[in-house]
Every structure is written in C-alpha cells, then in structure tokens.
Structure 1
Amino acid sequence: MLLAVCIVCDDYFLPSLEVIRERLGLSHDVAGATFMAAVSSGPELVTAFLGVFVTKGNIGVGRIVGSAVFNLLGICAACGLVTSGVGRLTCWPLFRDCVAYAISVAAVLLIISDDKVYWYDAAGLLLVYGLYIVTLCFDTHVHKYIVKWISPCLSKGEEHRCEEQPLIGWNDTSSLLVHRRTRADSGILFDDSGYAHLSLSLHGLNELSQGETLEIPDTVMGLTLLAAGTSLPDIISSVMVAREGKGDMAISNIVGSSVFGMLCLGVPWFIKAAFVDPTSPVEVNSTGLMFTAAMLLLSIIVLFVAVQVNGWKLDRKLGLVSLVFYLLFTTLSILYQLGIIGNSPVRVCND
C-alpha cells in the first residue's frame, strides 16, 4: 500500500501539481494549501461521509479532529525528521493558514456545541471554506494589506523568502525538482491510482473492524487509527516536497489539509440535513470533541511559536519538538475520551 501511494505521489501527483502551479502562476505555498491539500485529503472526505451515512456515529468527526492534530504536529514531525537539509520557511503563509485553521476550528466548535447540526450550520462551514479559497486567490493583495499591521513578524520571515507571492503571471526560473516519467497511453495512471485508493479503502475497513472488535470508542478510533491511516497521502506528499527544499509548500499542505478536513464536514452534514432527512438535524456527540478541539487551538499556537523560535527553519529540531507535542496532545485527548481525566467518558454502546 505504501509503495503504491509513493508511486502515485512521486510519479504522477507532484509532477501534475507542478504543471498546474506553473500554468496558474501559483506560489508553492498557495498550491500546497489548495490543490495539494484538497487532493491529499480525499480520504478524510470519504470518512466523513461514512461517519454520517453508514456508521451514523462520531467516527467521521473524531477522525477529522484527530487527523488535524496528526496533520499539524505529526506530519510536521515527519517532515523535519526525515529531511536531511534545512528547509526555509516564511511567516506569511504560515500565519495565513494558521488563522484560517483557527477560524475553521472555532466554526466547527460553535456548530457542534449543542450536539445538533442543521443545514444552515453545514452551509456556514462551506461558506467559510469558500472565503478561504477567495483569500488565497487574492493572496498578494491580502498580504500587502496585512503586512502593514504585522510588519515586524513578516519582515523577519521575508529574510528567508525564496519565492514571490503573485497569483497571476508568476514565473518559476528554477528547474523542476520532482522526478518525471512520461505516461504512456496504456492507462497505467488509472491503474496505479486505483490500486492506491483500493488499498486505502481496505486499510480503513480493517481499522474499523479492529476497533469494533476491541470495543474502542468511535472518537478514540478517530483520534488514533483512522487519523493516521487517512492522513497517509498527506504524509507522503508533504515529506516528498519537504525533501526537495519546498518547506512552505509542505507546511501549507499540512495546515491546508487540516482546514479542508475540518470544513469538509459541512458537505455530508449539508447533504443529510438539507436533502436526505430535512425534518431533523444531524446528531453529533460533542462531549469529548470539545476538549480535543481545544487541543487543536493550542497546537496551532505551539506550531507557530516553535517555527518562530527555531528561526523559520524546517529541520530535525523542529521535527523532534513537533513529535513530542503530538504525543502529548494525543495522549491527553485519549485519556479524556476514556474518562481517565475529566468527567465525561465516552461510552461504548453494545447491541
């Protein structure tokens, strides 16, 4: 499975993304926060649909919340630990995406606070993501406006900037670093992609069956097994671009995937609340998720501060710090879900 995903990412996904980026004149960080994040987060959207329409439990919500912690700190740790060199980071892309992510977490928290999701709540999440995309489309103008207010931070980050921000008409003079392979007309691209998606689907079903057998609560499964499993494309794509020295693209993919993962919950919620069962809202158990979402907001602060203290470098030191905080946050969230800390344990329903 890992080999199949690596082949698809290295030989097809990254070269295709590079072509799209060049044609549209996107900077690496904008491409990572949009196309790369949305495509690599496909399993998260599928799991959200499964949680709403199939299991009718908290797997979709818990997995996406847990995956967000894994994306922010776990994948950042992987990128830092496996990168042999030092990737330079800039302040604006990280600040932009972290603010967008904080807004998305706050929106989801507000919606699930009463354990009910109505169609207009889900539509609000989709609207927030639409505004995020519009902001990225006018990234240059937004950057120039914001820099007036936070110029000290941005001026420090600009010292390490290796690319410009204009959305249209941006030309890349550097050589393409990803490995290219000419695709024949034999349909091998479809075959490799099919094998990879089939393997990921089987992996997800296997995790669900194991969790059901061991009577693991839905939210705990979402925080651990499903979070890591559905984030596999994000891990591989982020690590690959990080090893090529594109630190901004890797970090933007990490945070952008988390934004997409949180706000894509609005898609199945909107479909069910507006079309499938418009007479009743979608029921969500938010007891343990509120604590986990608070951990998410804290992880945003930790990531931003760690990058700044580390001198805007993506290296092994940053990877180690991210790994420590990821293990800490995940452990605290699981202990809370199991009722070991706090007073709201998640109960397993036996038929």
Structure 2
Amino acid sequence: MNVLIAAALIVIGFVFLVKGADLFVDNASGIAKKLGVSPVVIGLTIVAFGTSMPELAVSVTAALQGSNEIAVGNVVGSNIFNLLVVAGASACLYPLICDRVLLKRDWPLSAVAAILLGIFLLGDQTISRLEALVLLVIFAVVLFLQLKGAKQEENIHPEERSMGRLVLFLLIGIAAIVIGGQVTVEGATSLARILGLSETLIGLTIVAVGTSLPELVTSVVAARKGENDIAMGNVIGSNLFNILCILGVSALLHPIHVEVTALYDTAFLVVVTVVYWLICRRRSPDRLIGTAMILTDIGYMAYIILR
C-alpha cells in the first residue's frame, strides 16, 4: 500500500466518522429531548458518548488488531486535544460558564481517571483485563451518578421527529462510525509503517485529532449558541468516557501494552487537567484562558513530533 492510498483511507475514514457522529449526536439529542433530560446531562452523557464513538471504534479496532500504541495514543491524544483545543476554541469564541456540578464532580473525576491510567501503566506498561474491569466498574458508577443528578425539564422546543425515525438514524450513525473506525486504523497503521513513524506518534496526532473532530464541531457550535453546559459537558464527559469506557473495553478484549512514552503523555494529561481545573474554578474560561489552552497544545504537539 502506497502513501496516497493510506492517506486516502484516513480521509475516507474521517468522513465516515464525522458524518456518523453527526447523525448519532443529532438523533441521540432528539431522543433526549423526548425524554426531557437536562442540557448538562445531555452534554456529559449522550453528546459526549456520541462524539466519542469514533475513539471507541478506532481504539477497539486497534486493540483487536494488536496496534496497542494507537489504542492508547488515540485516547490520551484525544483527551489532551479535547481539553486544550476543543474547550480552548469554544472559550475563544464565547466565554464559557462551567456548571457547578461539573467543576465539583466531573472535572476532578476526569483527573482521577487519568491518574489511574498512569498508575496502571507505571508498573509493566500494560493495561490488563483485571485493570480493564476496574475502569469499566468506575465508569458504571460515574454514569450512575450523572444520571442520578439528571433533572427532568419541560422542553420549550419539543422534538417533532418520531422515536422510530430517531432510533433508525441513530443506528445508521453508529454503523458509519464503526466503518470509519476500521478504515482509519487501516490507513493510519499503513502510513506509520510506510513512513517509518511510531504508532504512538500516529495515534497521538493524526488519529487523535481526526477522531476528536466531532467534539470540536459540537462544542464550538454549542458555545456559539450559548449552550455552555453542552459545550463543556461534552469535553469533560468525553474525556471520562475515553479512559474509563473505551480503554476499559479495548483492554478487556485484548490486554494493551505500550511504550514508555505513553507514560509521559498520560502524565501531561494529568497535569493540564488539574492545572486548568484549578484555573477555571477561579475564573470562567474566556478568550485569554482559551488562547492559553490552544498554545499549550501547540507546544506539546511540537514536542511529541520532535521527540
């Protein structure tokens, strides 16, 4: 397979991922409206899970194919991109007001999840099936807490589409995401092999940014519409889902072993998660903080490319 074919597969895969995620989010949100779920819960759960479906498809496929560095690099890289670029770009366009529960519960939980991942990798650079089960159990508890805090609200803009139509297009979206994930992994691993690049680098850059496009589009659009709960809920919810559920499922199917550089990337994720959480507790994310977030990501991207 030559470079052009590999690059074409990545582009085609991303198209399927983005369009599939768009269908998923649109119809999942419609179902949520019919059920009367509050915006912050929609952001933390349905929208976050929907926009993270590309990461799930890519990481699970990569794990099954033995491309472990892409599975972990994709998740860690996506989380860094979500927090620094997705939240940063949203804040640059429209000052964000973080939900109190998100700041007190969900954002700290995302830091704990990253720390736990680092602990699992610290010993033997492997996520075992037992550790995968721990991640999935914690995910179930977090999801329970999020849904327990859901408020039923009267929707002033009722969903007019039928439940049957919503479910049908939701399933079409999922199918497109799964196909896109398989095509993207094939193209990315081939490109890495042709260019002599490590799978960790490909996972942290090309694949991570590509699979985070749904989060970027969703949060920026939500910020422009003033839907702060959905914008930030999407970022934090996606980061929780990525580590606890995606890596949990991936490692349960096939234990994941990574290079030592994955520890450095995880440590960086922990640091930026904690630092920007402390900053946003004192000051709502505005253009200044958003710009700092984006510049932090650019600096780290330069580092991982040059290392």
TM-score exceeds 0.5? yes
CA deviations 1:258-282 (Å, max 9, x no partner) are 111112211122133xxxxxxxxx3
Aligned to 1:124: 134
CA deviations 1:108-151 (Å, max 9, x no partner) are 22222222333221111100101110111222xxxxxxxxxxxx
**Alpha-carbon distance change, 57 to 193 in structure 1, aligned in 2, over 3 angstroms:** closer
Alignment match of 1:271 (pick from 253, 270, 280): 253
Amino acid at match of 1:129: F
**Alpha-carbon distance change, 246 to 122 in structure 1, aligned in 2, over 3 angstroms:** same
Looking at structure 1, the residues matched to 248 and 264 of structure 2 have their Cα atoms a distance apart, in angstroms, of: 20
Amino acid at match of 2:91: G
Looking at structure 2, the residues matched to 3 and 57 of structure 1 have their Cα atoms a distance apart, in angstroms, of: 24
Q: CA deviation at 1:286?
A: 4.5
Aligned to 2:109: 100
Amino acid at match of 1:133: L
CA contact (8 A) 1:59 1:219 kept: yes
Aligned to 1:312: 284
Give the helix-richer structure, 1 or 2.
Answer: 2
Looking at structure 2, the residues matched to 210 and 286 of structure 1 have their Cα atoms a distance apart, in angstroms, of: 19
Looking at structure 2, the residues matched to 126 and 36 of structure 1 have their Cα atoms a distance apart, in angstroms, of: 19
Amino acid at match of 2:135: L
Question: Cα RMSD (Å) of the superposition?
Answer: 3.2
Amino acid at match of 2:217: I
**Alpha-carbon distance change, 329 to 102 in structure 1, aligned in 2, over 3 angstroms:** same
The total of aligned residue pairs comes to 291
CA contact (8 A) 1:24 1:168 kept: no
**Unmatched 5+ stretches in structure 2:** 1-11
Aligned to 1:171: 154
Looking at structure 1, the residues matched to 304 and 105 of structure 2 have their Cα atoms a distance apart, in angstroms, of: 26
Q: CA deviation at 1:95?
A: 3.3
Q: CA deviation at 1:247?
A: 1.2
1:136 aligned onto 2:146:
yes
Looking at structure 1, the residues matched to 41 and 301 of structure 2 have their Cα atoms a distance apart, in angstroms, of: 29
1:213 aligned onto 2:194:
yes
Looking at structure 2, the residues matched to 65 and 289 of structure 1 have their Cα atoms a distance apart, in angstroms, of: 8
Q: CA deviation at 1:41?
A: 0.9
Alignment match of 1:238 (pick from 216, 219, 222): 219
Aligned to 1:75: 86
Aligned to 2:298: 327
Looking at structure 2, the residues matched to 129 and 183 of structure 1 have their Cα atoms a distance apart, in angstroms, of: 27
Larger radius of gyration: 1
Aligned to 1:54: 65
Q: Percent identity?
A: 24
State the secondary structure of the residue aligned to 2:68: coil
Amino acid at match of 1:54: Q
**Alpha-carbon distance change, 198 to 243 in structure 1, aligned in 2, over 3 angstroms:** farther
